A and B are shown apart, each in its own frame.
Chain A
Amino acid sequence: MTDPKRYTLDEVTRIVNGIMVDEFEAEEAKLAPNAKLNEDLGLDSLDGVDMVVAIEKAFTCRIGEEEAKSIRTLGDVYDQVMKRLGAVGQLEGATPSEGAA
């Protein structure tokens, strides 16, 4: 069995931001950890489930329903990904709090 891929926070940020731009047409200039998904990036409640699925697919992880409901900002997305990755492997580089809102 191969080791799970280890992502740095910078890599997680880059991949998540890419998803927000490519799949949800978020403005790149507005991507910041404290950006609110709804008010700042234009995602509505119907987009939320699609976003979670896209994130899960990109990182081969699973975000639970309650955790998904707690996501309000882009930083929350980074945090949830880092938590999921932390559950299967070691975190490298910066601590998750650097990406938090």
Chain B
Amino acid sequence: MDPTELIPHREPILCIDEVIRVDAEHAVAERLVREGPHTGEDGLQWEGALIEGLAQTAAAMNGHAQRSGDQPPGEGLLVGVRGLVIARRARIGERIRFRVELIKRITPLTLVRGEVTCGDEVIAAGELKFFVGNEP
């Protein structure tokens, strides 16, 4: 699925290429890392793009929940990151996968566990917290 069907992010800040699976409590998205605003001269993706990719994948999960009526509409803000470990940065040419799983939703806050993989290798993982609403 085109992620723009679920999230408001657009180029150049869009960090996911495709939403592979999504339901009210899970989302999986993919990205082919390529040269551009999210990579450096060393051919590696910025760490921020990993975090933003997880955030946008979580946003896709919330977007799906909003479309399904499971969650009231609203825009999301990343308000916290906990226990995030980045084992390595992704390289240009690698296809990476973002997975998020809902830990708890107490509207307007959503807490998810996120993981970024490249093949079988986990390159980043941690918890992210979002405020989703119309009035911060």
Contacts and interface: CB of A to CB of B under 8 A. Distances in A.
Interface of A: 45-46, 48-50, 52-53, 56, 65, 68-69
B106 A48 contact: yes
Contacts of A65: 105-107
B49 to A, nearest CB: 24
- Among A46, A49, A65, residue most surrounded by chain B Cβ atoms (within 10 Å): A49
B129 A68 contact: no
B19 interface: no
Interface residues of B, number: 13
B106 A49 contact: yes
Contact of B104 (A45, A46, A49, A69): A49
Contacts, number: 29
Interface in B80-136: 80, 82, 103-107, 109-111, 129, 131
Contacts of B103: 53
Contacts of A68: 106
A69 to B, nearest CB: 6
29 contacts: A45-B109, A46-B79, A46-B80, A46-B109, A46-B129, A46-B131, A48-B106, A48-B109, A49-B104, A49-B106, A49-B109, A49-B110, A49-B111, A49-B129, A50-B82, A50-B111, A50-B129, A52-B104, A52-B106, A53-B103, A53-B104, A53-B111, A56-B104, A65-B105, A65-B106, A65-B107, A68-B106, A69-B106, A69-B107
Given A48-B106, A49-B111, 6 more contacts: A46-B129, A49-B129, A50-B129, A53-B111, A65-B107, A69-B107
B104 to A, nearest CB: 5
